[in-house]
Chain A
């Protein structure tokens, strides 16, 4: 039993996680650069301009991946937070905390690029479109999570308290999303929605996929790096930290 496959639980031990992530981060960082380079080249040079929106649609290659990441990372953060809260796994707490800033960054970028995209297509930077509004609220949820984490000095308590908040938040996200959508259709007679993509060309789809992968690689690299630092701070009195610090030149 024990010697079959990879023992995943090994990596919940901080020292093992620290070593493994240290080895993985350069790879993820390299993949990030490579995929972004390919994706941006395809998106900005190879892909043909849209017949309606011209070149301005190209912001989709940033906008859509960041929006996906923003939403997905919140769920991931809540899952880690729940694991940390229920099974008291320290690494899960660290990961949840490490994900939050990256998720907030992606959500912010999605809003920012959405505003920049809205200007040429809708004529205004901001409309109270259902998607924009729910992304804005998602950003607020991230900010609340990070603010609560920062406000509590005791790390263990901070992790547990913000885990409760993340879980309450993740239950609320669909409710908020649907209520915002409903509100939007009620309040705006001729609601402006993101123009429905007419059967996306293959090159666009592939580019979008590459950009999304690149965003993933970036998120993994940055989150792991942040988790390592958090881990060092938490465990600064542990022996494995002392050992590894002494190894360094």
Chain B
């Protein structure tokens, strides 16, 4: 079983590496959106600093959301998703593997590029480290919840817009906890509670969402 999952993970990663522009577009989007904010609200460093956690997190949410459509749609189009449903392993685990691959391709680059953007928005080094940590815990949640939405909108007209309506309300808890962690440190409090809850949320999502995604895939490919 482990071999099957590893093979699936390797396949998804190789496919993504052969077309790196897909992942890079998401990072590009993240960078551009964050860079536009100062142009909109003014260059005052202190103001930008207070805005930074929210802006960075919302941009990360949107970037993840835009990348979700690609999670299943390519496999759906060339038929390999239907083959995946026939694999004897539990579909939940296969879905989880695909989601992990998706996170490695899109979530991890966001985490890696984020210090640069945080620096632009005038965060201090210790806050940046914490922000990365929060993003490291939070982006898997985004990918996991997003996978449910991606499966539910598979093959629908205007699926890209619909997925925003389905998924963004569910992104509220990671947004609050993630931005709150950075905010707490900026105000001299401990971010431990936020990070613990974010970690709990990740474990919960890790446990629950793959099965919902699997159920959704079965329904949509029925």
Contacts and interface: CB of A to CB of B under 8 A. Distances in A.
**Physical interaction between A and B:** yes
Contact of A161 (B145, B158, B170, B220): B220
Contact of A186 (B145, B168, B172, B180): B180
B173 A179 contact: yes
A182 B152 CA distance: 30
Interface stretch (B69-77, B105-113, B211-219): B211-219
Interface string B125-142: 000000000000000000
Interface stretch (A19-27, A63-71, A164-172, A200-208): A164-172
A140 B169 contact: yes
B118 to A, nearest CB: 20
Interface SS, B side: helix
Contact of A176 (B156, B173, B219): B173
A157 B219 contact: yes
Contacts of B208: 171
Range class of the B interface residue count: 20 to 34
B166 A165 contact: yes
A137 B169 CA distance: 6
Interface-central residue, A160, A175, A186, by most chain B CB under 10 Å:
A175
Contacts, number: 75
A144 B166 contact: yes
Interface of B: 145, 148, 152-153, 156-159, 162, 165-166, 168-170, 172-173, 176-177, 180, 183-184, 197, 201, 208-209, 212, 215-216, 219-220, 222
B87 to A, nearest CB: 21
Contacts of A46: none
Contact of B176 (A85, A152, A182): A182
Given A151-B162, A165-B152, A141 B176 contact: no
A144 B95 CA distance: 23
B170 A169 contact: yes
Given A147-B166, A148-B153, A186-B184, A164 B172 contact: no
Given A180-B172, A183-B180, A160 B219 contact: yes
B212 A180 contact: no
Contact of A151 (B157, B169, B184, B212): B157
A90 B177 CA distance: 39
- Classify chain A: how many residues form its interface, as a range: 20 to 34
Given A140-B165, A182-B176, A168 B183 contact: no
Given A143-B165, A164-B215, A179-B173, A148 B222 contact: no
Q: Which of A85, A141, A144, A183 has the most CB of B within 10 A?
A: A144
Contacts of A85: 215
Nearest to A158: B219
A130 to B, nearest CB: 11
Chain A CB within 10 Å, residue with most, of B153, B170, B180, B215: B170
A54 to B, nearest CB: 35
A140 B216 contact: no
A175 B202 CA distance: 13
Contact of B153 (A151, A169, A182, A186): A151
A148 B162 contact: yes
A140 B215 contact: no
Interface in A109-140: 137, 140
Contacts of B166: 144, 147-148, 165
B91 to A, nearest CB: 14
B183 A186 contact: yes
B217 to A, nearest CB: 10
